[in-house]
């Protein structure tokens, strides 16, 4: 946790991926086709308190959202849904805070919150 805050002093973005060193930042996989995953993930994200879906691009599997922090900063969040094989999809998240200061780990926490909600709502599809 302290490491995240220290990293956050300098960095104002965070992202997930297959090669992430932190296990909590690894891509999440679901047993859903890309189109179905896009629908399911989009539906879950639209119901999340404090987040606003701004833009959806189904053909490339991208959902753009924003979240306002208590301090009044805006976080830009991009969710990427990629079909990995027939009937399976990966979900990755990129979160960045607007402004020049670090985020004190806020983007890391946002990613954990989004994955937590997705995993709970889509638990039966978790690969």
Q: Number of folded domains in the chain?
A: 1
> Is residue 77 predicted with pLDDT exceeding 60?
yes
**pLDDT for the residue numbered 11:** 67
Distances (CA, A) of 5 to 44, 72, 117: 28, 19, 23
Q: How far is CA 47 from CA 52, 68, 77, 78, in A?
A: 9, 16, 15, 16
- The domain of 9 spans 2-125
In the numeric block, which tokens belong to residue 83?
């079909």
Query: 9-52: per-residue pLDDT in tens?
Result: 556 888 999 998 899 999 999 999 999 999 999 999 999 999 99
- DSSP character for 117? H
- The CATH number that applies at residue 57 is 3.30.310.220
Whether 13 contacts 94, CB under 8 Å: yes
84-108 pLDDT, tens per residue?
A: 999 999 999 999 998 877 777 789 9
Pick from 28, 44, 45, 46: nearest CA to 82: 28
């Amino acid at each position: 946790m302290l490491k995240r805050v220290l990293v956050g002093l300098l960095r104002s973005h965070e992202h997930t991926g297959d090669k992430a060193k932190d296990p909590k930042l690894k891509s999440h996989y679901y047993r859903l086709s890309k189109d179905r995953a896009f629908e399911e993930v989009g539906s879950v994200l639209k119901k999340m308190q404090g987040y606003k879906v701004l833009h959806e691009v189904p053909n490339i599997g991208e959902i753009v959202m924003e979240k306002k922090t208590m301090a009044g900063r805006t976080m830009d969040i991009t969710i990427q849904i990629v079909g990995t094989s027939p009937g399976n999809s990966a979900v990755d998240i990129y979160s960045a805070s607007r402004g020049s200061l670090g985020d004190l780990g806020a983007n890391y926490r946002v990613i954990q919150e989004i994955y937590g909600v997705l995993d709970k709502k889509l638990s039966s599809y978790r690969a």
